[in-house]
Amino acid sequence: MAAAAAGGGGSVNPFLSDSEEDEPEEPRPGGGSSSSTEPGGPAYPQQQPEPAAGSPEELLGLRAAAPGDAAAGAGELPRVSMDAIAAQLLRDQFLLTALELHTELLESGRELPRLRDFFSNPGNFERQSGTPPAGGALGSLGGSSGLGGAGGREPGAGQLNRAGSISTLDSLDFARYSDDGNRETDERVAVLEFELRKAKETIQALRANLTQAAENEVPLQERKNYKSSPEIQEPIRPLEKRALNFLVNEYLLKNSYKLTSITFSDENHDQDFELWDDVGLNIPKPPDLLQLYRDFGNHHVTARDLVDASVGVDDDELEADTPILGTVPVFETAAQSIEQCLIVQKLEDQISVLNSEKWSLMEQIQRLESEIDLLKNENFAVSSVYGVAPHPSLKQVPLTVSEDNGRYLDIKSSENDSKHGNIEETSLALSAEVDSRTSKDDMLNSVPSKETEKLSSCAPSSKAAVHFDKPNRELSPAFHQALLSFCRMSADSRLGSEVSRIADSEKSVMLMLGRCLPHIVPNVLLAKREELIPLILCTACLHPEPKERDQLLHILFNLIKRPDDEQRQMILTGCVAFARHVGPTRVEAELLPQCWEQINHKYPERRLLVAESCGALAPYLPKEIRSSLVLSMLQQMLMEDKADLVREAVIKSLGIIMGYIDDPDKYQQGFELLLSALGDPSERVVSATHQVFLPAYAAWTTELGNLQFHLIPTLLNKIEKLLREGEHGLDEHKLHMYLSALQSLIPSLFALVLQNAPFTSKAKLQGEVPQIEVTRFPRPVSPLQDVAVIIGSREQLAVLLQLYEHQLEHEGTTGWETLLWVVNQLLPQLIEIVGKINVASTACVHEFSRFFWRLCRTFGKIFTNTKVKPQFQEILRLSEENIDSTAGNGVLTKATVPIYATGVLTCYIQEEDRKLLVGFLEDVMTMLSLSHAPLDSLKASFVELGANPAYHELLLTVLWYGVVHTSALVRCTAARMFELLVKGVHETLVAQRVVPALITLSSDPEISVRIATIPAFGTIMETVTQRELLERVKMQLASFLEDPQYQDQHSLHTEIIKTFGRVGPNAEPRFRDEFVIPHLHKLALVNNQQSVDSKRLDIATHLFESYSALSCCFISEDLMVSHFLPGLKCLRTDMEHLSPEHELNVNCSEPGE
């Protein structure tokens, strides 16, 4: 064993940890020595000679030793740790024994990290052989580089043979190989196991190739650029980023930064921080951050020390400190060594090429410096600057100044400054500058660039020389320099390097900002980051490097995690300023990609920023991009985004796009977007559509000539289709959607009428401009629906309005094609649609009434009186001869009546207009009453007008006309209309106008008129609070119940019972307890004596409904016993006799039954 250990002493043992190698060796059985270790050592060992090991049998024989053996005397063998035993088993490839040991330790709660890590890594079973290596240790490549030589091993000796008959540990069936297991094999299972192994091998190979491809995804030329320019840091690779993210999250969790870890995980939602394998494929897990930090000092790379400019360095001295790659031992397997040798050869070739380039550039520098010396014709050579003669090898150490740095120090000596003190001062200043801004790594890795060639030529600065007071001392420059070294200045760090340099040009400032801003932004409070927007924008505008500009704009859009409204406004303002400065090409190339990247961001505030940016940047984009990419982005967000605020912003941006788009082919796409926006479930989105998108689209439609020939007719056709399909159930939401769109198009239509009028050429602003009445137009929902804004100015609109009204009043519409289309096509189609609406649909009636009201108000009073009203009157035909006409009655029962009354006749409120409305309602009430037609159209008119208190007096005037009418049918209709009006009328009007009229009707000779007043009296009891008024109504109702002349009036009793059931739950409790419930009891008792079964059942049915409604009210115990329960018992008697199926319901209504 000792010989074997000696033979493998130069090899690296992959199973030893640092703790094993660092601790002193202890005696081992057999005269060897072993390294005792503790769990948790570093995963990457350093090279150490491998100690001799005893036989595995001797080590395993110590397993049964008791814990107390550690305290045995000196004569006893010392106890070997479990970790050493595990290491020996793994080293000798006793994997099954190691697995058994791992299982037993795991069951006893003493798990070894070494065994856990080994068996949890599937890569160990792919790379390791199934037999122990020769000599008891892994072969070393350091001894012999030949393959198959005496110091090497046979090809593939350290790798798993890919034969299908070899089972890996994860596919072993231990029961089959155990002594007591069943040795019978199933051929089918064997085949499946073989296929599974082959599939696993294929997957592992693909994963390894994918990982290697991900690692090598940076182009070769780009890597050369990074190596040739050390100040430019190579971008982080995806695999490196995921690995660092995992380590950072692990560090946060271990140190109780849980909230920070949660935030960090949210920002990296595409990575699973629970599983290291998610980082990459077949990637070993490195130590944690703390261990990497502690181990950092142990991996010092020998670097070339900085030297003063006046000190020479021999080439041999410089090269002696630089390790040669060929001398670095490589401890890998034979196959890997070949690959490593190829890589080393490539690197050496690259080094030789770079060295040749370096020497050629240095020769060029020397030539340029000599030319500069000749041109100056004065003794201002390099030796005078540094104060000593230049060493022959000095110029071989170039002072590199990259393009990023520019010129930060002016060294200029005037003709008078030729004294030794000046030279010393200049030398000290330069030495301090070099020391403060140049790090050791920069001097080691820098390669002369083109800017180095310009160094000498750029030395004389355009600025005036800066002179400092010279000390009248005789100290040596070295003493001065040593003295100044006590100033605590740091230029070794990135920040120190930036601080020590002062830029003297705009370009240098931009470059400096580009380097510093990515480090500044993360350290600024979120609430104050908008203060950085001007800096970021200016740098992004002026920076010469496209990649840096892209990074800065990326920072701008990601500046704040969830920007609020004010912060988004600041960012948008900055984007617009950037766009104005750089032009459309750079906006397309630099700003739009930032928007596209965040179109599906998880935070709605960020998507909101994207939606708003599309609109804000629209004026500054190429027109092809506006109508293609930006429009598609907004369309996608409108269809897919779930946030109402985002879709609202999308709609507003679409409106802006519609104001700039000029591609007629996009018209249909815009129309589809309009319909989608109008049908959005969010009220915010629909409101934004009416305020911004629809007016902007209408303006474009007007320019294309499609407003009156496509947009409005299409919406009308959709409304007609809805009405045809909605005979059994109208989709009121869609009807509202289309009709509201038509309503928002009225200002655009009127502007088109004015702009295409015959008098347009005469409309010139001359002299005093007429004033427009404040109430001339309905209040627009947004400035884009203001006719003055659409026309251009309020003055221009005033001139056009004056000519418009003169034309209508005196010259008519001859030759006025747009207005003729409105009169001859639009209005007839609208009136026809109105006739198809169900008059019982209050919402539809209200929508069409508002539409006609806005239409008439916008087009003016003359247009309404001469063009709109005649068409309605022609259809309604309100005359006495049409009373018995079926056609006339049919029109009066449709929605045409309430829409004409509330949408057209209420547009203007002068006395003559009010008289016209009163006369129309009186005629409709008369005609409907005399023809026995349904009163639904009249009720719809009263409901719509009654919602506005300004029309209450007018409606009471109409009803009083019915109260005093000679026909009992009209008086009966007037009595029923009072029920609709009472709920919205003020109590004063009820007391002064309504109750007197009802009392008058309650004493009418016709019993039907008196019965018709009962619902109105009940509504008063339900809504009025005045005590005197309630007493008058109660007295009138009591007269109906107690007067002997009404004892046999079945219809009157039925109406009273229905009224009690309707108003009882909402009436005053005292009125309910003292009047309603006792009288219901009396009516139930009387009904028990009714001899006519049909009347008895009718009363009993209405009593049941009334009692059901009142059972939900609070009823006192006395009232319950005296009236409520006796009334229910009477009702139960009626139901037992007439309707047994309702008897159970009556019993349920009786408490205690």
Ranking 187-191, 591-595, 809-813 by mean pLDDT, the lowest is 187-191
| 24 vs 734: which has the higher pLDDT | 734
Percent of the chain with pLDDT over 70: 68
Average pLDDT over residues 853-867: 93
Q: What is the pLDDT of residue 500?
A: 59
Ranking 913-922, 928-937, 1005-1014, 1129-1138 by mean pLDDT, the lowest is 1129-1138
Q: What is the pLDDT of residue 131?
A: 41
Residue 871 pLDDT more than 60?
yes
Q: What is the pLDDT of residue 400?
A: 38
Percent of the chain with pLDDT over 90: 22
Confidence of residue 318 (pLDDT cuts 50, 70, 90): very low
pTM exceeds 0.85 for this model: no
pLDDT digits (tens, 9 = 90+) for 968-1011: 999 999 999 988 888 878 888 888 888 889 888 888 888 888 88
Q: What is the pLDDT of residue 160?
A: 42
Q: What is the pLDDT of residue 631?
A: 93
Any long-range contacts for 486-491 (C-beta under 8 Å, 24+ apart)? 489/436, 491/435, 491/436, 491/437, 491/438, 491/439
Q: What is the pLDDT of residue 462?
A: 44
Confidence of residue 613 (pLDDT cuts 50, 70, 90): very high
Q: Supply the DSSP string of 332-392, one letter for each residue.
A: --HHHHHHHHHHHHHHHHHHHHHHHHHHHHHHHHHHHHHHHHHHH-SS--HHHHHSSPPPT
Q: What is the pLDDT of residue 881?
A: 52
| 924 vs 344: which has the higher pLDDT | 924
Average pLDDT over residues 67-89: 67
Average pLDDT over residues 683-693: 94
Confidence of residue 822 (pLDDT cuts 50, 70, 90): very high
Instruction: Give the CA distances from residue 277 to residues 200, 208, 285, 287, in Å, rounded to whole numbers and listed in that order.
Output: 16, 12, 9, 15
Confidence of residue 559 (pLDDT cuts 50, 70, 90): confident
Q: Count of CB atoms within 10 A of residue 25's CB? A: 14
Q: What is the pLDDT of residue 442?
A: 42
Contact 706, 671 (CB under 8 A): no
Q: Is 264 exposed, middle or buried (0-12, 13-18, 19+ CB in 10 A)?
A: middle
Q: Supply the DSSP string of 999-1064, one letter for each residue.
A: HHHHT-SSHHHHHHTHHHHHHHHHH---HHHHHHHHHHHHHHHH-GGGTT-HHHHHHHHHHHHHHG
Q: What is the pLDDT of residue 988?
A: 86
Q: How far apart are CA 614 and CA 636, in angstroms?
A: 13
Q: What is the pLDDT of residue 317?
A: 43
Residue 1126 pLDDT more than 60?
yes
Q: How far apart are CA 856 and CA 106, in angstroms?
A: 89
Residue 601 pLDDT more than 60?
yes
Instruction: For residue 934, report the phi and psi dihedrals to the nearest 5 degrees.
Output: -60, 150
3-state secondary structure of 27: strand
Q: Mean pLDDT: which of 50-54, 119-123, 245-249, 396-400 is highest? A: 245-249
Q: What is the pLDDT of residue 668?
A: 93
- Mean pLDDT of all residues belonging to the chain: 74
Ranking 252-266, 501-515, 619-633, 888-902 by mean pLDDT, the lowest is 501-515
pLDDT digits (tens, 9 = 90+) for 1060-1118: 888 888 888 888 888 888 888 888 888 787 777 788 888 888 888 888 888 787 888 88
Residue 173 pLDDT more than 50?
no
Average pLDDT over residues 13-18: 40
pLDDT digits (tens, 9 = 90+) for 370-381: 677 667 644 433
Ranking 487-501, 622-636, 944-958 by mean pLDDT, the lowest is 487-501
Any long-range contacts for 566-574 (C-beta under 8 Å, 24+ apart)? 566/530, 567/529, 567/530, 568/605, 568/608, 568/609, 568/612, 570/530, 570/533, 571/530, 571/533, 571/609, 572/609, 572/612, 572/613, 572/616, 574/533, 574/534, 574/536, 574/537
Ranking 153-157, 747-751, 903-907, 1132-1136 by mean pLDDT, the lowest is 153-157
Q: How far apart are CA 667 and CA 673, in angstroms?
A: 10
Average pLDDT over residues 314-321: 43
Tell which residue, 291, 263, 307, has the closest CA to residue 399.
307
| Helical ranges in 727-836 per DSSP H | 732-744, 746-755, 787-791, 794-806, 817-821, 827-835
Residue 566 pLDDT more than 70?
yes
Contact 49, 178 (CB under 8 A): no
Confidence of residue 607 (pLDDT cuts 50, 70, 90): very high
Instruction: For residue 436, report the phi and psi dihedrals to the nearest 5 degrees.
Output: -85, -20
Token readout for 183 is: 């040795």
Residue 1041 pLDDT more than 60?
yes
Q: Supply the DSSP string of 700-745, one letter for each residue.
A: HHHHHT-IIIIIHHHHHHHHHHHHHHTSSS--HHHHHHHHHHHHHT
Q: How far apart are CA 563 and CA 598, in angstroms?
A: 13
Residue 337 pLDDT more than 90?
no
Q: What is the pLDDT of residue 1133?
A: 82
Q: Is the dihedral of CA 253, 259, 262, 263 positive or negative?
A: negative
Ranking 452-461, 693-702, 933-942 by mean pLDDT, the lowest is 452-461
Contact 112, 20 (CB under 8 A): no
- At residue 529's C-alpha, the angle toward residues 527 and 533, to 5°, is 145
Residue 1058 pLDDT more than 90?
no
Tell which residue, 820, 828, 815, has the closest CA to residue 868.
828
Residue 708 pLDDT more than 50?
yes
Q: What is the pLDDT of residue 298?
A: 67
